[in-house]
Structure 1
Amino acid sequence: MNLNKYPVTELSGNGKLVYGCDYNPEQWSREVWQEDVQLMKQAGVNLVAINIFGWAELESSPGNYSFERLDEILDLLHEHGIGVNLGTGTSSTPAWLTTLHPEILPQSADGVRAWPGGRQAWCSSSPVYREHALRLVEQVSRRYGAHPAVRLWHVSNELGCHNALCYCDVSASAFRGWLRNRYETLDALNAAWGTTFWSQRYSGWDQVLPPRTTISAYNPTQVLDFHRFSSDELLGYYSAEAEILRQHSTVPVTTNFMITAHIRTQDYWSWAPHMDVIANDHYLDHRLEAPTIELAFAADATRGLAQGSPWLLMEHSTSAVNWQPRNIAKAPGEMIRNSLAHLARGADGLCFFQWRASVQGSEKFHSAMLPHAGTDSRVWKEVVELGGILERLTEVGGSTVTAEAALVFSWEAWWAYDRESHPSSDIAYLDQVHAAYKALWEAGITVDIVAPGADLSAYKLAVVPGLYLVRDSDAAALADYVAGGGHALVTFFSGIVDENEKVRTGGYPGAYRELLGIRTEEFLPLAPGDTPPLDNGTAASLWSEALRLEGAEAMVSFTGGHLAGTAAVTRNRHGAGTAWYLGTALEPAALRETLTQAAAGAGITVASTPEGLETVVRSNGDRSYVFLINHSHEEHKHAIQGQELVVGEEVADVVVVPAGAVRVVRTSTPAHPTNGLPTGSKDVESD
């Protein structure tokens, strides 16, 4: 199978939207199983993930397999019309394996070997681990490859969540092999890593190690390549499992990505082509300033990995999680809003961790579809309500999101950006990305998340935040896009180094200097609390630079200090298009205004939307589905005509979206080339 050729709705068994969960029947008695399937039917659940952590249950000692309980639960689910997302069971090692082979346990950069007892206690380079794990996959796939309940194969679980980077001797050997394939010769590796610095030059491959703990700063290219290697190593493990599954089954194969603010170890642009279905896990992170907006970013990024096709939300939560410093419970209606926000941004399936709240283990205070309080609870009532809403939204399945703007995002750039010995430790890659995305979200501009070098011809505006590391070919692709009539906005500390972390000389911003029509001689990071004034009445922060105009015009300039008169925001005509540059961190309102101005110049009509009303459009042929998600405490009115699907009412001219509610209006008007909104669709408050 190939990516995007397997509709997510087929996983439901009846062409409807997927509604499901992780299910851990091994934690419960058979009597509870019977109750579970009845309640699943009541809620509308049509797909459950099982055997995610089943290794010790299936193989109690080496080669001693027992499948009777798994047979029974698969048959029970199938009997009740509930499909299975079947895990291979390899995510965590059984105690007997780590006792027999402690060498498979991962090792940290300072040489500390992890102990078993948590999860994912294995080194992805370990041939011993792989031998035992793939033997289990062979058994599971042979036994269940043709089972009628199985609709999706779930390889391992959240690969790299805890064990993405291992620094043991086995990993070191594998790293050297990866480097040989990449560079072929030691001379090429020495040149790429700049090993003439600090007498680091290698004269033999056996001298090359992972970036283990040192007494000073690391070689940045060594660290970057180790991240690349580690991502590839885990992908190689996924592929080894997937190959076995495809030998014994025609069911699609995937694993659950973790596109979220606190996981950055996998380059999912390289992973996505190997998935039959793109799936993501996402949880609101209350350590962030705007967790709801980060949810939208993650959903858009997942859709980008799916190349615009519908995708599967493999996990999210009904309420609180268990792993944050303060595990905030969701307010009434928030779970439904969160879920439908994922649906609005391209998901054709919504699944939760987990079905029934555990009563033991480290996740016993993680929320579930069926909470500790049972069915006499608000969470359960909302779970049933959401199932009914998804039933009414069945026709949305298969439709795609309309976006006129793109945001360029790179895991490689993230790895390279957030390193030591940079001009300022106060700046971070994801902060730049989230700031730009938040400004676009608040302006009501839907974006596609794309990789560096992606084809931008379908977009009117491309936003490039903090792309510190960029290949020459990818930088040229952006320049060609603008020269051909496109519009771009690039933020500071972009284009600085190539793929080997080598600085481009001649002035910053390196790869984008000609495109932007500027030249910076020196970075001038700002001290905490230093907020020099700008001539638009706002103030800068975090960053400034000695910027010289070389064809560009100043749109905003500094008015105080030694930078007075120096441009902070510029605009340059490049060929038939326009490129903006932000040479400082703008206040949120100023950033939103600048992006809105760039969008307007690109031909994107930005409607004035009330604060807290999220508007996204999915389209399918001659129909559009306008999602109106009200995150505020006030009702909003939106001028539109069509059929509202959540509560089921005809909309003649205006739909009312109550505080905290969601409305989805089907219109017979296809998405207009005005920010994706159907013709005539607008917010009443903006009149």
Structure 2
Amino acid sequence: MSADRTAAPRRREETLRRRLGKIGYGGDYNPEQWPAAIRAEDPALMRVANVDLVSVGIFGWAEVEPRPGEFHFDLFDRVLDDLHAVGIAVSLATMTASPPPWLSQRYPHILPVRADGTRLWPGGRQHYCPSSPVYRQHAVRLAEQVARRYAHHPALAIWHVGNEYGVHVAECHCDVSAEDFRHWLTRRYGDVASLNEAWSTTFWSQRYDDFDQVLPPRTAPTFPNPAQQLDYARFSSDAMLACYRAEVEVLRQITPDVPVTTNFCGLWKPVDFWAWAPYVDVASVDAYPDPAEPESHVESAFIYDLLRSLKGGRPWLLMEQSPSAVNWRPRNAPKPPGAMRLGSWQAVARGADAVMFFQWRQSRGGAEKYHAAMVPHAGPQHRTFREVAALGAELAAHPELAGGQVPAETALILDWPSWWALELDSHPSVDVTMREALLAHYTPLHWAGITCDVVPSTADLGGYRLVVVPNLYLVTEEAAQNLRRYVHNGGHLLLSFFSGIVDDCDRVHDGDYPGPLRELVGARVKEWWPLPEGGSLPVRLAGALGGGTTTGRLWSEVVVPDSAEVLGTFDDGELAGRPAILRHRLGRGVVWYLATRLDEPGMTAVVDAAVTAAGVQPVLPDLPAQVEAVRRVATDATSTLFLLNHSREAVRVPLPRPGRDLLTDGPESTFVDLPARGVALVREA
């Protein structure tokens, strides 16, 4: 199946939106866990909570195929009929996420193997090798049975394929995977000579004479070949994608007009979201911010911006979140009153067309019995259910929000191969990670009210005033040309250290760092000086950045300016007096370069200067601390200003023109009073 790049994905996504008629609301429903008496209560109780969309059957394989080739759909027939009878639509799973015990008993070679040779056994979930043809055969057969059974069922609204791909088994190192990897390498390189060149196998006598000699990067005496590790990350993402696509092909044949999705898992390193995006009609994600982390909602905002960007700004689905505590952290804090509502509206503000939870009823047994649910163990009288029902009523009262888009003048660049390569072993510093880099650059933009898209380095950047590159360790010539073209044409670019270092085979670019990005930076990096654990250096700011001193951490480097001007210098240590912050005017654009990770005030100073120079306008100027502002534009071109107070204090937010909070339905005013963890939706002209 080729990537569906026609209008069909958008048509199917719009079909789902018309079907729901509003922001979808619900959660995972696992009726196989409950007796008939409890199941009989569920549809009516769902309607009390204003539920109109539920995911069904994600872990239903053992229920519907208890023995090989013996299918029993009676339970799910009744469930879908009962849900449809009260107007609840279904995100129906292909049920392939967790194979039944009989499959691994009969075919033990489908079980995954770690790099150290440890075989992972049944007893949890996701216990399959993505490359296993036996697993794929049985998964596709089940998907076909499910599709034929429910193709014309009126409850079916969208297909849900698999579940959180790669969250437990991101890579399998078994012999089956090894053989699949060799086929993948043959397609990528064509011959062994090209493979040897790409992998730099002259180092440590690693030259291959035949593809049959190639193995996965299993546990070795010391550092495995980095290019081999990078390609294995690519291969592993592709192997999981092949599983997904095999099921989608069956669904397309049987139900060509029903949209298809799979739930990505937060900011998830093993799965290349850009490679997968063409094959999902609607992007979906599971997000579990930690209530014990005061700034966890900032990462959630980034994840939501990423999801919105996967389909070019189209709405997406929050497929899972927790109503309160989860079960899998070392310490599982509950969400305090108001936090679940606040986080849910944050998703809607950033483009979600559905807000869903794991799960409907809290399990009595199993590994997730302490994971919160919409209906807790105590039943609907619990405060969690009351909050869930109240949120459902609020969402139902504003159907006009569905389908709206979120405009952005700024973009952050994230490439998965660069992420994989950046965090390989034997590097200058283990402290340089992609997540830290992303959030360090995103956070000041977030609190300044600057909405961001997230795009790959090869995307069309012409529509953005400012492009931020937190790290682009691996850069292709195509990507470098794209960035140069963007700046020459008048774009503003903010770039941080350890970028432009290697090509797509993890080979260092010739010459001074940062390789093909040297023209952009207008300077040459001669040497890296990563800082010790917890170390820092003072950085003196030029007047253009407000003067004074801030702090650099993680990293420093010897930078020799060519045509760039210096806006900040290291103020102590071996690099005292050397550049730490540069600005370079190139063509009609400007490039800012950071040779260290500035502390929060320093990052804010640089980001504010770049934003101002680029002419980027915040959603709302002069936001109070911890208040998030996002604008979502409806299909009829009316816009809604979302204001979200992430603090524990009440705040007053001034408005540029009189507006009315749709949630309180109060009179028009030139300000909005937000209580602690409060939300306001202000309709704009």
| TM-score category (smaller protein) | over 0.9
TM-score, length basis structure 2: 0.95
Give the letter aligned to residue 609 of structure 2: Q
Pairing 1:115–2:129 present: no
Distance 1:14 1:153 in 2: 15
Equivalent of residue 634 in structure 1, options 643, 649, 670: 649
Pairing 1:558–2:558 present: no
Give the letter aligned to residue 656 of structure 1: D
CA deviation string 1:503-544 (max 9, x = no partner): 112111112111110101111111234322221311211111
CA RMSD of aligned residues (A): 1.4
Give the letter aligned to residue 131 of structure 2: S
What is the CA-CA distance between 1:433 and the residue it aligns to? 0.9
1:543 maps to 555
2:525 maps to 520
The answer on whether the counterparts of 2:112 and 2:129 sit within 8 Å (CA) in structure 1 is yes
2:493 maps to 488
What is the CA-CA distance between 1:285 and the residue it aligns to? 3.5
User: Given the superposition, is the C-alpha separation of residues 287 and 544 from structure 1 closer, same or farther in structure 2, using an over 3 Å criterion?
Assistant: farther
Pairing 1:267–2:272 present: yes
What is the CA-CA distance between 1:288 and the residue it aligns to? 5.9
2:364 maps to 359
Distance 1:656 1:168 in 2: 59
Distance 2:234 2:27 in 1: 32
The answer on whether the counterparts of 1:77 and 1:149 sit within 8 Å (CA) in structure 2 is yes
CA deviation string 1:330-384 (max 9, x = no partner): 0100000000001100101101000010000000000111111211111111101
1:675 maps to none
Equivalent of residue 4 in structure 1, options 7, 10, 29: 10
The answer on whether the counterparts of 1:11 and 1:83 sit within 8 Å (CA) in structure 2 is no
The answer on whether the counterparts of 2:291 and 2:335 sit within 8 Å (CA) in structure 1 is no
The answer on whether the counterparts of 1:9 and 1:398 sit within 8 Å (CA) in structure 2 is no
2:170 maps to 164
Give the letter aligned to residue 394 of structure 1: P
| 3-state secondary structure, aligned to 2:124 | coil
CA deviation string 1:613-647 (max 9, x = no partner): 00000113441110000011222222242332212
Alignment of 1:574-593 (within 5 A): 574-593=586-605
Distance 2:22 2:537 in 1: 55
What is the CA-CA distance between 1:561 and the residue it aligns to? 2.3
Equivalent of residue 139 in structure 2, options 133, 152, 155: 133
TM-score, length basis structure 1: 0.95
The answer on whether the counterparts of 2:12 and 2:258 sit within 8 Å (CA) in structure 1 is no
Distance 1:195 1:90 in 2: 39
1:613 maps to 627
Pairing 1:221–2:227 present: yes
1:602 maps to 614
The answer on whether the counterparts of 1:9 and 1:348 sit within 8 Å (CA) in structure 2 is no
What is the CA-CA distance between 1:476 and the residue it aligns to? 1.0
Distance 2:637 2:58 in 1: 41
Same amino acid, percent of matched pairs: 48
1:674 maps to none
Alignment of 1:665-680 (within 5 A): 665-668=682-685
2:328 maps to 323
The answer on whether the counterparts of 1:613 and 1:632 sit within 8 Å (CA) in structure 2 is yes
1:501 maps to 506
| 3-state secondary structure, aligned to 1:528 | coil
Give the letter aligned to residue 639 of structure 2: S
| 3-state secondary structure, aligned to 1:116 | coil
Distance 1:8 1:629 in 2: 28
Alignment of 1:186-585 (within 5 A): 186-249=192-255, 250-260=257-267, 263-285=268-290, 290-536=295-541, 537-585=549-597
What is the CA-CA distance between 1:442 and the residue it aligns to? 1.8
Distance 1:512 1:287 in 2: 40
What is the CA-CA distance between 1:389 and the residue it aligns to? 1.0
Give the letter aligned to residue 127 of structure 2: A
Give the letter aligned to residue 611 of structure 1: A
CA deviation string 1:363-416 (max 9, x = no partner): 000011111121111111110110111012211111111211100012211111
Aligned length: 666
The answer on whether the counterparts of 2:28 and 2:56 sit within 8 Å (CA) in structure 1 is yes
The answer on whether the counterparts of 1:299 and 1:346 sit within 8 Å (CA) in structure 2 is yes
Distance 1:66 1:269 in 2: 37
Give the letter aligned to residue 638 of structure 2: R
Greater displacement, 60-69 / 486-495? 60-69
| 3-state secondary structure, aligned to 2:550 | coil
CA deviation string 1:3-48 (max 9, x = no partner): 3333468357341110011000111111111211111011111111
| 3-state secondary structure, aligned to 2:553 | coil
| 3-state secondary structure, aligned to 1:532 | strand
Give the letter aligned to residue 263 of structure 2: N
Distance 1:256 1:114 in 2: 23
Greater displacement, 503-512 / 342-351? 503-512
Pairing 1:73–2:85 present: no
Pairing 1:625–2:640 present: yes
For structure 2, the residue ranges without an aligned partner over 5 or more in a row are 542-548
2:680 maps to 663
The answer on whether the counterparts of 2:266 and 2:288 sit within 8 Å (CA) in structure 1 is no
What is the CA-CA distance between 1:252 and the residue it aligns to? 1.1
The answer on whether the counterparts of 1:9 and 1:349 sit within 8 Å (CA) in structure 2 is no
Give the letter aligned to residue 647 of structure 2: S
Distance 2:181 2:199 in 1: 14
Distance 2:179 2:444 in 1: 45
The answer on whether the counterparts of 2:550 and 2:601 sit within 8 Å (CA) in structure 1 is no
| 3-state secondary structure, aligned to 2:504 | coil
Greater displacement, 125-134 / 569-578? 125-134
User: Given the superposition, is the C-alpha separation of residues 14 and 229 from structure 1 closer, same or farther in structure 2, using an over 3 Å criterion?
Assistant: closer
For structure 1, the residue ranges without an aligned partner over 5 or more in a row are 669-687
The answer on whether the counterparts of 2:262 and 2:280 sit within 8 Å (CA) in structure 1 is yes
CA deviation string 1:91-147 (max 9, x = no partner): 111111111111100000011111111001100111111111211111111111111
Give the letter aligned to residue 419 of structure 1: L
2:545 maps to none
1:17 maps to 23
